[in-house]
């Protein structure tokens, strides 16, 4: 009995330490998000993040190697909250609704960090590799789920290369975001998906009628 109590007493500080660590990590991400809503990535410093989060710089570097990696995690957290991955029963509707929410995010103050991440990666290959792995590839994995549902339902021609289709759906939005030569809004998102699905849809597939309130959203951390 005494031995068990001794073990419990020894474990308690560890539990408190883990809880404090999680609180500190959450505070750092929250502080980074708040700063990035006001300043560019280049202007946000590790000192400013630490001060706003109420932690030391050493605590930041315990989990992240530099401020760009902190910003990437904060960005992904913000995207998880704002970008939907729908399941409406129609792949075309799923991609349309998701592209709308993605466009709304990309055109927000936080979402426009995407361009800054690309720029940062040109001088930091390690960061660019992390960006691809944690953001791009993860988001494409989520998009493939919507694609596969469409194929399985007989909505999309299975012979079409899904990777090329994902580039066709999301590529125009990214290009407009980077180049700034075209508008980004709901109607443009609808037109982009409609143009792609015009060549994807099986000729014998009957599109189901749209139902109000049919959008079922789930939140996740992927593209």
> Is 7 a residue whose pLDDT tops 80?
no
Cβ 44 vs Cβ 35: under 8 Å: yes
What are the residues facing 156 on neighbouring strands?
201
Q: What is the pLDDT of residue 81?
A: 87
Q: Is 108 part of a structural domain of the chain?
A: yes
> Is 187 a residue whose pLDDT tops 90?
yes
The chain-wide mean pLDDT, for the chain, equals: 86
Q: Do 120 and 66 share a domain, yes or no? A: no
Q: Which residue has the higher pLDDT, 15 or 133?
A: 133
Q: Do 116 and 63 share a domain, yes or no? A: no
Which conformational region is residue 213 in: left (phi greater than 0), alpha (psi within -120 to 50 degrees), or beta? left
Query: What is the spatial distance between Cα 106 and Cα 218, in angstroms, rounded to a whole number?
Result: 19
Q: What is the pLDDT of residue 16?
A: 52
For residue 118, CA distances in Å to 128, 134, 182, 207 come to: 7, 14, 19, 38
Domain containing residue 63:
19-78
Q: Which residue has the higher pLDDT, 5 or 127?
A: 127
> Is 171 a residue whose pLDDT tops 50?
yes
Please write the tens of the pLDDT for every residue from 106-151: 999 889 999 999 999 999 999 999 999 999 999 999 999 999 999 9
Q: Do 165 and 71 share a domain, yes or no? A: no
Q: Is 219 part of a structural domain of the chain?
A: no
Q: Is 8 part of a structural domain of the chain?
A: no
> Is 219 a residue whose pLDDT tops 50?
no
Q: Do 155 and 69 share a domain, yes or no? A: no
**Average pLDDT of the segment spanning 8-15:** 51
The torsion of the CA quartet 65, 42, 141, 78, rounded to 10 degrees, works out to 100
Q: What is the pLDDT of residue 199?
A: 87
Q: Do 50 and 125 share a domain, yes or no? A: no
Q: What is the CATH number of the domain that holds 111?
A: 1.10.357.10
> Is 216 a residue whose pLDDT tops 50?
no
Query: Residue 84: which pLDDT band, with cuts at 50, 70 and 90?
Result: confident
**Average pLDDT of the segment spanning 42-50:** 95
DSSP 201: B
Cβ 83 vs Cβ 105: under 8 Å: yes
pLDDT exceeding 90 applies to what percent of the chain?
72
Q: What residue has token string 């989060």?
A: 53
Q: Do 154 and 107 share a domain, yes or no? A: yes
């Amino acid at each position: 009995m005494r031995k068990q109590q001794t073990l419990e007493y020894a474990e308690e500080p560890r539990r408190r330490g883990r809880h404090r660590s999680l609180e500190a990590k959450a505070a750092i991400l929250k502080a980074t998000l708040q700063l990035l809503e006001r300043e560019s990535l280049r202007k946000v410093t590790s000192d400013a993040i630490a001060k706003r989060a109420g932690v030391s710089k050493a605590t930041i570097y315990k989990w992240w190697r530099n401020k760009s990696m902190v910003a990437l995690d904060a960005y992904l957290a913000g995207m998880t909250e704002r970008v939907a991955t729908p399941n409406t029963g129609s792949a075309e509707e799923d991609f349309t609704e998701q592209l709308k929410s993605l466009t709304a995010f990309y055109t927000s103050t936080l979402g426009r960090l995407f361009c800054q991440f690309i720029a940062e990666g040109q001088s930091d290959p390690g960061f660019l590799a992390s960006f691809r792995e944690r953001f791009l590839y993860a988001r494409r994995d989520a998009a493939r789920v919507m694609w596969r549902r469409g194929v399985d339902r007989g909505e999309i021609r299975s012979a079409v290369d899904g990777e090329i289709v994902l580039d066709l759906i999301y590529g125009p939005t990214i290009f407009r975001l980077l180049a700034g030569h075209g508008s980004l809004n709901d109607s443009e998102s609808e037109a982009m998906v409609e143009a792609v699905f015009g060549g994807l849809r099986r000729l014998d597939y009957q599109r189901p009628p749209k139902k109000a309130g049919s959008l079922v959203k789930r939140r996740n951390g992927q593209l």
